[in-house]
Structure 1
Amino acid sequence: MASFHARSNSLPSRQHPISSQIDETLNRLRSSQSASTSSSVGQKLNGLQDLHEYVEMLLQLPQSQQALSHEQQRKSVEQLLDGSLMLLDICSTAKDALLQTKECTQELQSILRRRRGVEGLTSEVRKYLTSRKVVKKTICKALKNLKNMENKHNKDGENGDVISILRQVEAVTVDVLESLLSFISGPEAESKLSRWSKLMHQKRVTSAEDEINNEIANAEATLRSFIKSENTKNVENVQNELQNSEECIQDLEQGIESLYRRLIKARVNVLNIVNC
């Protein structure tokens, strides 16, 4: 009877097309380079959306539903559901951070277009930078929560059953969200995180090239430079950097919103399975 339970919790064929697609996407996301640019973060978000689309197909398989509804898997399923709530909360944090930064960016752009000198602009720029500090503080807390989830995954084994597959998907989702949050926060996030996690710092060493390719960080750095110089010649450069930042944010917003919807759908599917 014990051997029957062991088989019932596994996919009948590990070579099922959906399982193969999940394996391939997982490996691609794991092996991809550190997401330190808007392009690389966007690619990871797109890959993650594909992964969760395959998970949705996986959950439609009778053998997957049988495994998740089995009483012996109740605790593991509850842990996955708890994890999904955490991921949804982190996604909400990322969405709020992007929205707040975008709104401040748009407001500052509007002010810059209306004014012809630098008089009075310093106070407006400081408001933007203050808002960014609040965003970074919130992101730092979210990164710590993700790190706790990551530590939990390091203790999980991989035995090929549907529960293990879902845990691997969760672990990769955590990694991509870490990259996204670190990108939104900018290079400064790394120095703060190093105080509580040396491993996190080693995983995402930010170079000068990384900073150049981070449109949000570029805009912030340009604004800090503007405050120091208050040179009217810098206004055009500030406007350009803010425009680049806004476009970057809009792209990331689309990606995180799509992921958020897929996470909700996956959670609902699992709840429907276990409650049947």
Structure 2
Amino acid sequence: MAFHNRSNSFPSRPHPIVQQVDEQLSRLRSSETTSTSSISINHNLSSIGDLYGCVDKLLQLPLTQQALAQEQNEKWINELLDGSLRLLDVCSTAKDAVLQTKAYVQDLQSIIRRTRGGESGALTSEVNKYLSFRKMVKKAIQKAMKNLKGSERKSTFSSPSNDNETVAIISKLRDVENITLTVFKSLLFFVSGPKSKPGSWSLVSKMVPTKKVACDEETEANEFAQVDAALHKTIKSENTQNQLQKLESCIQDQEEGLESLFRQMIKTRVSLLNILNH
């Protein structure tokens, strides 16, 4: 009986894993998570992956599992699972966009190398395919952004059991979800590139509400935007070929970051499911 009357609260000194989650969250909040430079985006993808690694360790702690497995917390776990599924969908959209873009870029580079003497019908056709594909990507990103609108959750909430450790854990997991959304929005904004017509990217800019993000005419065009602009002008220029190479390198880094993050997010989702079904 004495055992059942003991408090299950976290010790006054947080577990090292809890501290690691807090530190990762703090670093991401203080960084330019909404920056649209390729270096910042790749860094944030890596940092989010590290954060999920810590979160999964947190979910393996007996105290965490005991706190979350209580029947009255099922609603909150289901909300977190819904959020994780939404994030995985966005991650898949981003992965598909960069992987398909990479294939088109490699095809363009191959044709340019084979047609050194001048522009050919095959090259013009491949450029048109790429530009048409880019329009499809932008529409898909707009749809993804629209689906994400209003997805942020408040970190604070009330647990029906007034269980302090449960409140603390779920609040942290909501913080993780929100910071991940911010990074994904920044990535999608980056991949979408330049505006195709006035006002067409108003939704995208609204979904990344920060002074760090500005419209393309106010910031230096990123690798995607530079290639889009170049292919509307001179296909065979040396500058265009250099920009294609830079874009391929940029995509390679994003591909690796997204793949690693996707695996970590799946692992975290499985851990939540295991707790729910315990």
Partner of 1:117: 118
- The answer to whether structure 1 residue 181 and structure 2 residue 188 are counterparts is yes
Unaligned runs of 5+ in 2: 158-163
Residues 198-207 or 93-102, more deviating: 198-207
Structure 2 counterpart of 1:185, one-letter code: S
Query: Counterpart of 1:226 in 2: which secondary structure?
Result: coil
Normalised by the length of structure 2, the TM-score is 0.85
| TM-score, L = length of structure 1 | 0.86
Give the aligned partner of residue 211 of structure 1.
220
1:261 is matched by which residue type in structure 2? R
Partner of 1:263: 265
After TM superposition, the structure 1 = structure 2 runs for residues 79-118 of structure 1, keeping only pairs within 5 Å, are 79-115=79-115, 116-118=117-119
Structure 2 residue 175 is the aligned partner of structure 1 residue 168: yes
- Alpha-carbon distance, 1:198 to partner: 4.0
Structure (1 or 2) with the greater helix fraction: 1
Among 236, 239, 242, the alignment partner of 1:240 is 242
Equivalent position of 2:39 in the other structure = 39
Distance 1:84 1:14, change over 3 A: farther
Paired with 2:231 and 2:52, the residues of 1 have a C-alpha distance of: 38
User: Over residues 73-128 of structure 1, what are the superposed CA-to-partner deviations in whole Å (9 max), with x where a residue is unaligned?
Assistant: 10000000011111111111011001111111111111111112123233321211
Tell me if structure 2 keeps the 8 A contact 1:84–1:267. Answer: yes
SS in 2 for 1:36: coil
What is the rounded CA distance, in whole Å, between the counterparts of 2:96 and 2:270 in structure 1?
23
Distance 1:262 1:244 in 2: 28
Distance 1:209 1:141 in 2: 24
SS at 1:118's partner residue?
Answer: coil
Who is 2:251 aligned against?
Answer: 249
What CA deviation, in whole Å up to 9, does each residue of 1:13-36 have, x standing for no partner? 462211111111111111212321
Q: Is the 8 A contact 2:145 2:207 kept in 1?
A: no
Distance 1:224 1:267, change over 3 A: same
1:188-199 correspondence runs (5 A): 188=195, 191-195=199-203, 198=206
When residues 112 and 264 of structure 1 are mapped into structure 2, their CA distance, relative to the original with a 3 A threshold, is: same
SS at match of 2:220: helix
Match of 1:220 among 220, 228, 251: 228
Aligned residue number for residue 19 of structure 1: 18
Partner SS state of residue 148, structure 1: coil
Q: Which position in structure 1 is the counterpart of 2:151?
A: 149
The DSSP-based 3-state class of the residue aligned with 1:35 is coil
Alignment match, 2:160 = none
CA distance in 2, matches of 1:58, 1:202: 30
Structure 1 regions of 5+ residues with no counterpart? none
Sequence identity (%): 53
CA contact (8 A) 2:105 2:244 kept: yes
Query: Cα distance, 1:270 vs. partner?
Result: 1.1
Distance 1:275 1:75, change over 3 A: same
Tell me if structure 2 keeps the 8 A contact 1:95–1:253.
yes
Whole-Å separation in 1 of the counterparts to 2:16 and 2:72: 27
Q: Is this contact kept in 2: 1:11–1:63, CA < 8 A?
A: yes
Contact between 2:142 and 2:203, CA under 8 Å: does it hold in 1?
no
Is the 1:139–1:181 Cα contact (8 Å) retained in structure 2? Answer: yes
Contact 2:186–2:208 (Cα < 8 Å) also in 1:
no
Residue 260 of structure 1: how far off its partner (Å): 0.3
Distance 2:227 2:103 in 1: 14
**CA–CA distance in structure 2, aligned partners of residues 199 and 166 of structure 1:** 21
Q: Is the Cα contact below 8 Å between 1:191 and 1:201 reproduced in 2?
A: no
| CA distance in 1: counterparts of 2:195 and 2:124, whole angstroms | 22
